[in-house]
């Protein structure tokens, strides 16, 4: 009898996901789907609001990386107020925003790796779920857990100092920023917050290197798992600096095919609509973007840390560059298609963010006083940014009275929708084919595949209401043969 | 009122929450309280300061948040003149609950989304909600349908946040006394309208003053926003009510 197994909810993912795995009569996986069933009408409810509210309003899309939405919207507003497209800000404004963004990348990557992904690696995917969680990490690896907490705190404090608050600040305003960095704050970040040397810029670099070393060590003993789990060829897309450097705050759009050939060649971010298009499928609220000229079948792509390192030519900070060279050499310079290597790429970026934070803190421009620029006002603003989990597109139109009339958001998770579905399917095929019984570790394998990309699904669908926590089994005719509820 | 209002030169003695204070005849209970460092919450009444540009205190008496008990009867402190031997109850559980109720009603009646509001941190209504520990409103949201008026070049008027306090009507006038804002309609249809012509020619300073006068985020300066960082907003360090006496004039009318 053909069955459909529903895993609900996907745990350690912010927001609610639902996975259905379709088995045929012989328990072979025929198809798997990641359904994003939440819906949040952000694109609609910013309409009618004055444009200067947008950077503050849209960051409620996400609890993990609000700063990314804040900055992407602010970049779009820069265009609206005639402050250029990522290049018209004063040095203090641009660098304060970059510092805010690197603080965000740093804390989010640390959260993603240590809090959400590391339990699977430290304890193994088939470990007891009672142990395989962040509390387990704290109990069995207390030093690591402490480092993770302090690293995250450091990033959050950087955000607070630049955006005004740790979550949902208002630092970026159309055309600039509303404050500079005080000398006291700068000294605290360089030497240690509240005099604690464990909370200093150098410590963040040191611990980022240690985290990367931990992963590489794990890789050496679990090579087959990390290299083989949910691996499939794909295109990769990200922003890069015009000279090809990794740049998480601003750049041109570049994409490569599975062989590394450029398929989108450094397109101005304002022309994103020439590059991507979105497809709607009946079973998910989340759209499926693809590279326009390749069409939906061939044009889907990955974004995020793995994609960024596959797309860029180099990383403009020395320690991360050295790690990048090692990463690139592993696949002989070709794009890396191993889903679990998202974590490797993520930790290289964590190191880069730590290096960038220090570099920016040492820059006296951050104490400048020229905070805002304005030029000729126009009616349309587009802001692209590399958020922790991938490229973020924000696009707005405003009327003559300054009210928003159109908003289009393509968030990182949406960009990764097709790859996440493929990763889920790859994990399901590997774990469940030929098995008669669905075990918890099998279900977790599917979640591990999702978590490599994203711990956060709610932002992508913008959520109304709570998903019931249930596991449902359907037969070929679509009748429910079993149903279990969790956490209800 | 049955109490005799004393003549201007007279000094009057009254008690507020058992504390005996002196007031001048003609002062309201609110003014007398402020002069003596006693906090009575206000939303519509506003004490004249250099900062807000008012020449005299205003007390439209529209919000009733200043409700106190005078000799056992509830009265608005901002419109009731002092009289000899008044016994005023102010900071009591009953009255504070009443005030909390008013705050809750104002929240459910309008459409307030503080997280994206430019006035957040500087808003009197929000500050009072904190003061009275409003966690969730007891009343159902009205989901009133209200438009944003963005016609004027310098001001944005967001009716979703207007609490109809009438401050703008009384305080924002041209040099020759013409009102820029006015009331329209009645009951739950009441609203504020702007004189489009006069508001079009408003100066930067007057636009700033209008935003400042409005206790909430209904009048907002256009094309700007969130310029004041967190930490520098009005109630970031001291909650509402912690400073009762105006520093520029020490509570005296100018
Ligand atoms: S006006 Fe005040 S209460 Fe209303 S949304 Fe703004 S901050 Fe909140
Ligand atoms: S606009 Fe502001 S000042 Fe005017 S009535 Fe409404 S809340 Fe009061
Ligand atoms: S402050 Fe007295 S009625 Fe509004």
3-state secondary structure B127-157: HHHHHCCCCCCCCCCCCCCCCEECCCCCEEE
Signed CA dihedral, B190, B195, B199, B200: sign only: positive
Which residue from B118, B222, B231 is facing A164, i.e. has the nearest CB? B231
Residue pair A60/A89 in contact by the 8 Å Cβ criterion? no
Q: Do A401 and B116 touch (CB under 8 A)?
A: no
The pLDDT value recorded for residue A26 is 72
- Asked whether the predicted pLDDT for residue A38 surpasses 70, the reply is no
Kindly report the backbone phi and psi dihedral angles of residue B19, in degrees, each rounded to the nearest multiple of 5, phi listed first: -95, 125
pLDDT-wise least confident of A189-198, A242-251, A276-285:
A276-285
Of A371, A409, A303, A378, the residue nearest A57 (C-alpha): A409
Q: Which atom of ligand 2 is nearest to the CA of B181?
A: 4
> Considering only A207-216, A454-463, B196-205, which range has the smallest mean pLDDT?
A454-463
For B116, which of A56, A169, A173 is closest by C-beta distance? A56
Beta carbons of A49 and B228 less than 8 Å apart: no
Q: What distance in Å separates the CA atoms of residue A109 and residue A388, rounded to the nearest whole number? A: 7
Put simply, whether A380 touches B (Cβ < 8 Å) is: no
User: Ligand 3 center to residue A296 CA distance, Å?
Assistant: 62
Please report which confidence band the pLDDT of residue A466 belongs to, taking 50, 70 and 90 as the band edges.
very low
Enumerate the β-bridge partners of residue A183. Answer: none
Which residues does chain B have within 8 Å of residue A159's beta carbon, measured at their own beta carbons? Answer: none
Residue whose entry in the numeric block shows the structure tokens 């909600």: B129
B219 Cβ closer than 6 Å to some ligand 2 atom: yes
Rounded CA gap, A27 and A41, in Å?
Answer: 39
Q: Are A79 and A382 in contact (CB under 8 A)?
A: yes
How far, in Å, CA of A115 to CA of B82, rounded?
A: 63
Summarize the confidence of residues A79-100 as an average pLDDT: 94
Q: What is the ipTM of this complex?
A: 0.86
Distance from CA of B96 to the nearest CA of A (A): 31
- How far apart are the C-alpha atoms of B237 and B240, rounded to whole Å? 10
In 3D space, the residue among A232, A225, A239, A278 whose CA is nearest the CA of residue A258 turns out to be A232
The alpha carbon of residue A186 is apart from the nearest alpha carbon of chain B, in Å, by 17
Judge contact between A240 and A251, C-beta under 8 A: yes
Token pair recorded at residue A379? 């009616």
Averaged over B129-143, what is the pLDDT? 91
A81 touches chain B (CB under 8 A): yes
Q: Which H, E and C letters describe chain A, residue by residue? A: CCEEEEECCCCCCECCEEEEEEECCCCCEEEEEEEECCCCCHHHHCCCCEHHHHHHHHHHHCCCCHHHHHHHHHHHHHHHCCCCCCCCCCHHHHHHHHHHHHHHHHHHHHHHHHHHHHHHHHHCCCCCCCCCCHHHHHHHCHHHHHHHHHHHHHHHHHHHHHHCCCCCCCCEECCEECCCCCHHHHHHHHHCHHHCHHHCHHHHHHHHHHHHHHHHHHHHHCHHHHHHCCECCCEEEEEECCCCEECCCCCEEEEECCCCCEEEEEECHHHHHHHEEEECCCCCCCCEEEEHHHHHHHHCEECCHHHHHHHCCECCCHHHHHHHHHHHHHCCCCCCCECCHHHHHHHHHHHHHHHHHHHHHCCHHHHCCCCECCCCCCCEEEEEEEECCEEEEEEEEECCCCEEEEEEEECHHHHCHHHHHHHHHHHHHHHHCCCCCCCHHHHHHHHHHHHHHCCECHHHHCCCCCCCCEEEEEECCCCEEEEEECCC
Ligand nearest to the CA of B65: 3
The mean pLDDT value for A413-420 works out to: 82
Tell me which residues of chain A, numbers 155 to 174, contact chain B at a CB-CB cutoff of 8 Å.
164-165, 168-171, 173-174
- A403 vs B148, B228, B231: nearest CB: B148
Give residue A393's pLDDT band: very low, low, confident or very high (50, 70, 90).
very high
d(CA A282, CA A296) in angstroms, rounded, equals: 15
- Rounded distance between C-alpha atoms, residue B222 and residue B207, angstroms: 9
Residue A83 contacts B where some CB pair is shorter than 8 Å:
no
Residue whose token pair is 């931990």: A214
CB A347 within 8 A of CB A212: yes
H/E stretch holding B87 reads strand B87-89
Q: Does B229 touch chain A (CB under 8 A)?
A: yes
Provide φ and ψ at A87, rounded to 5°.
-135, 5
Residue among A281, A75, A51 at smallest CA distance from A177: A75
**Ligand 2 touching residue B164 (CB < 6 A):** yes
Atom of ligand 3 at shortest distance to CA of B165? 4
* Beta carbons within 8 Å of B120's beta carbon, 6+ residues apart: B114, B126, B217, B233
Atom number of ligand 2 nearest to Cα B169: 4
Q: What is the dihedral of CA A125, A129, A130, A132, to 10 degrees?
A: 30
Q: Is the CB of B192 under 6 A from ligand 2?
A: yes
Nearest-Cα distance to chain A for B111, in Å, is 13
Q: What is the mean pLDDT of residues B207-211?
A: 94
| Contact residues, chain B, for A52 at CB < 8 Å | 118, 223-226
Q: Does residue B180 or residue A62 have the better pLDDT?
A: B180
10 Å CB burial of residue A167 (0-12, 13-18, 19+) is middle
Residue A413 has a pLDDT of 78
Helix (H, G, I), strand (E, B) or coil at B223: coil
Whether A171 and B116 lie within 8 Å, measured CB to CB: no
* Comparison of pLDDT for B163 and A297, the residue scoring more: B163
8 Å CB contact of A403 and B227: no
Residue B148: list chain A partners with CB under 8 A.
48-50, 403
Residue range B230-234: average pLDDT?
91
Average pLDDT over residues A16-33: 72
Which residue in the set B150, B220, B226 is minimally distant from A56, CB to CB? Answer: B226
Q: What is the mean pLDDT of chain A?
A: 84
Q: Which residue has better confidence, A142 or A177?
A: A177
d(CA B119, CA B144): 20
Instruction: Give the C-alpha distances (Å, rounded to integers) separating A131 from A118, A122, A135.
Output: 12, 10, 7
Within a 10 A sphere around the Cβ of A110, how many other Cβ atoms? Answer: 30
pLDDT of residue A10: 56
β-bridge pairing B191-194 and B181-184 = antiparallel
Q: pTM, whole model, 2 decimals?
A: 0.88
Q: Which of A29, A21, A39 minimizes the C-alpha distance to A467?
A: A39
CA of B218 to the centre of ligand 2 (A): 6
The answer to whether A375 and A335 are in contact (CB under 8 A) is no
Cα of B150 to nearest chain A Cα, Å: 5
Confidence of residue A381 (pLDDT cuts 50, 70, 90): very high
Helix (H) or strand (E) holding B70: strand B67-70
Alpha carbon distance B222, A480 (integer Å): 56
User: pLDDT (tens digit, 9 = 90+) per residue, B42-75?
Assistant: 999 999 999 888 989 999 999 999 999 999 999 9
B163 in contact with ligand 2, CB cutoff 6 A: yes
| Cβ atoms A68, A387 nearer than 8 A | yes
Q: Tell me the pLDDT band of A9, cut-offs 50, 70 and 90.
A: low
CA A446/CA A444 separation, integer angstroms: 5
What mean pLDDT is predicted for residues B99-111?
Answer: 95
B142 touches chain A (CB under 8 A): no
Q: What is residue A456's predicted lDDT score, i.e. its pLDDT?
A: 52
Q: Does A372 have pLDDT greater than 70? A: yes
What are the distances in angstroms from CA B107 to CA B42, B228, B240?
16, 24, 17
Note whether A262 contacts B: Cβ–Cβ < 8 A.
no
């Amino acid at each position: 009898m053909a069955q459909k197994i529903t895993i609900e909810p996907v745990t350690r993912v912010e927001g609610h996901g639902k996975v259905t795995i379709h088995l045929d009569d012989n328990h072979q996986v025929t198809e798997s789907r990641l359904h994003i069933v939440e819906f949040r009408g952000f694109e609609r409810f910013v309409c009618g609001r004055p444009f200067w509210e947008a950077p503050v309003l849209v960051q409620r899309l996400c609890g993990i990386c609000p700063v990314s939405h804040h900055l992407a919207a602010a970049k779009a507003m820069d265009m609206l107020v005639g402050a250029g497209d990522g290049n018209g800000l004063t040095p203090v404004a641009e660098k304060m925003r970059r510092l805010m963004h690197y603080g965000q990348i740093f804390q989010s990557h640390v959260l993603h790796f240590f809090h959400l992904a590391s339990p699977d690696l430290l304890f193994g995917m088939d470990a007891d779920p009672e142990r395989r969680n962040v509390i387990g990490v704290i109990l069995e690896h207390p030093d690591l857990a402490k480092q993770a907490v302090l690293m995250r705190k450091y990033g959050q404090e950087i955000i607070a100092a630049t955006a005004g608050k740790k979550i949902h600040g208002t630092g970026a305003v159309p055309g600039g920023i509303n404050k500079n960095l005080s000398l006291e704050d700068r000294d605290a970040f360089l030497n240690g917050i509240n005099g604690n040397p464990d909370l200093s810029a150098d410590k963040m670099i040191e611990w980022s290197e240690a985290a990367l070393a931990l992963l590489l060590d794990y890789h050496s003993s679990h090579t087959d798992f990390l290299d083989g789990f949910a691996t499939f060829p794909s295109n990769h897309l990200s922003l890069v600096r015009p000279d090809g450097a990794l740049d998480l705050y601003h750049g041109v759009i570049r994409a490569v095919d599975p062989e590394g050939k450029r398929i989108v060649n450094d397109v101005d971010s304002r022309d994103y609509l020439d590059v991507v298009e979105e497809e709607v499928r009946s079973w998910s609220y989340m759209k499926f973007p693809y590279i326009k000229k390749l069409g939906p079948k061939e044009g889907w792509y990955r974004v995020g840390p793995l994609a960024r390192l596959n797309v860029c030519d180099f990383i403009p900070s020395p320690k991360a560059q050295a790690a990048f060279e090692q990463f690139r050499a592993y696949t002989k310079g070709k794009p890396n298609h191993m889903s679990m290597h998202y974590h490797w790429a993520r930790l290289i970026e964590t190191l880069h963010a730590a290096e960038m934070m220090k570099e920016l803190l040492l820059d006296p421009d951050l104490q400048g006083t020229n905070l805002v620029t304005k030029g000729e006002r126009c009616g349309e603003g587009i802001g692209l940014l590399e958020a922790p989990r991938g490229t973020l597109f924000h696009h707005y139109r405003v009327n003559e009275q300054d009210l928003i009339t159109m908003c289009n958001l393509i968030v990182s998770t949406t960009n990764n929708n097709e790859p996440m579905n493929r990763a889920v399917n790859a994990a399901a095929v590997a774990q469940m084919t030929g098995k008669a019984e669905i075990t918890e570790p099998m279900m977790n394998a599917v979640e591990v595949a999702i978590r490599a990309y994203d711990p956060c699904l709610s932002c992508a669908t913008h959520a109304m209401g709570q998903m019931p926590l249930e596991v449902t089994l359907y037969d070929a005719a679509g009748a429910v043969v079993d149903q279990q509820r969790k956490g209800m | 009122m049955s109490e005799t209002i004393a003549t201007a030169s007279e000094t009057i003695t009254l008690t507020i929450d058992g504390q005996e204070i002196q007031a001048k005849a003609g002062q309201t209970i609110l003014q007398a309280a402020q002069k003596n460092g006693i906090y009575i919450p206000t939303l519509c009444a506003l004490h004249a300061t250099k900062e807000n540009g008012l020449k005299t205190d205003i007390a439209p008496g529209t919000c009733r948040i200043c409700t106190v008990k005078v000799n056992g009867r509830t009265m608005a402190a901002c419109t009731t003149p002092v009289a000899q031997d008044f016994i005023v109850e102010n900071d009591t559980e009953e009255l504070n609950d009443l005030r909390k109720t008013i705050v809750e009603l104002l929240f459910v009646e309008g459409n307030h989304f503080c997280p994206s509001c430019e006035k957040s941190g500087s808003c009197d209504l929000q500050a009072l909600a904190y003061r009275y520990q409003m966690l969730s409103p007891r009343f159902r949201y009205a989901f009133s349908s209200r438009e944003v008026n963005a016609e004027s070049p310098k001001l944005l008027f967001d009716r979703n946040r207007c609490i109809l306090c009438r401050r703008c009507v009384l305080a924002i006038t041209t040099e020759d006394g013409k009102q820029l804002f006015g009331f329209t309609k009645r009951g739950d249809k009441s609203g504020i309208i702007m004189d489009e012509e006069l508001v079009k020619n408003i100066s930067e300073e007057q636009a700033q003053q209008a935003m400042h006068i409005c206790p909430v985020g209904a009048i907002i300066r256009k094309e700007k926003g969130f310029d004041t960082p967190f930490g520098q907003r009005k109630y970031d360090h001291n909650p509402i009510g912690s400073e009762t006496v105006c520093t520029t004039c020490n509570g005296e009318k100018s």
